[in-house]
Amino acid sequence: MSSENGAPRHTGLGTVDAVVVGAGPNGLTAAAVLADAGWDVVVLEEQPVPGGAVRSAELHPGFTADLFSAFHPLAAASPAFRSLDLGSHGLRWSRSAAAFGHPSGPDDDDAVVVRPDPDDTAADLERRCAGDGKTWLALVEQWTRIREPFMQALLRPFPPVRGAGS
Ligand SMILES: Cc1cc2nc3c(=O)[nH]c(=O)nc-3n(C[C@H](O)[C@H](O)[C@H](O)COP(=O)(O)OP(=O)(O)OC[C@H]3O[C@@H](n4cnc5c(N)ncnc54)[C@H](O)[C@@H]3O)c2cc1C
């Protein structure tokens, strides 16, 4: 780093192997991977707290709420995050009994809900429309077949087709 007249600019950081700008999940992951590899890393963050767009705060007394991003299935599946063994540093994933639903209106208390167990979802769909439960299970079976190469293509480093091609 140099100033306009070409002289080295004093950053006050001393000498480090890598400077990561931004303490969002990607910056922190990069910094952790480099630090695990023995690099001396400094992370610069302009906000008073780390986390980027994956942060929470007590907006209402007694309740911690997401400020931006809210659900992280891809983070839970990420090989990069898994390799950091974040559980040993206190990370706990929360899983809801119902993954998601789609009420047709504010008074709809019987919306279709997708649950972690495919059989539960199939039974719910079947109750509403004969045959839909079987169709759901066929979709789940299709997903199970492509899941591994698909996730590899999505979450591994470039080129993204490497996982799908294996
Ligand atoms: C409203 C919202 C909802 C979202 N919902 C979801 C969701 O539900 N599920 C999901 O998986 N993803 C969601 N996302 C996306 C997810 O939050 C991002 O993919 C993720 O935060 C990207 O991480 P990042 O580290 O690349 O960047 P960021 O999280 O944006 O972090 C970048 C960091 O760099 C800092 N920074 C920037 N410039 C400088 C600088 N010059 N000097 C110092 N620091 C700097 C910023 O302050 C920030 O802390 C959502 C995003 C938003 C905004």
Q: What is the pLDDT of residues 52-93, one digit of tens each?
A: 999 999 999 999 999 999 888 888 888 889 899 999 999 998
Task: Pick from 1, 11, 46, 49 the residue to mutate for probing ligand 1's pocket: most ligand atoms within 8 Å of its CB.
Answer: 46
pLDDT at 8 over 50: no
- Fold adopted by 16-94: FAD/NAD(P)-binding domain (3.50.50)
pLDDT at 99 over 60: yes
CA of 124 to the centre of ligand 1 (A): 36
Cα Rg of the chain, angstroms: 22
Q: What is the pLDDT of residues 10-49, one digit of tens each?
A: 455 679 999 999 999 999 999 999 999 999 999 999 999 9
Decide which of 163 and 122 is more confident: 122
Q: Where are the domains of the chain?
A: 16-94, 99-104+112-166
CA distance 166 to 98: 34
Percentage with pLDDT > 70 across the chain: 88
- Give 55: exposed, middle or buried? Use CB within 10 Å, 0-12, 13-18, 19+: middle
Contact 51, 24 (CB under 8 A): yes
Residue 66, ligand 1, Cβ within 6 A: no
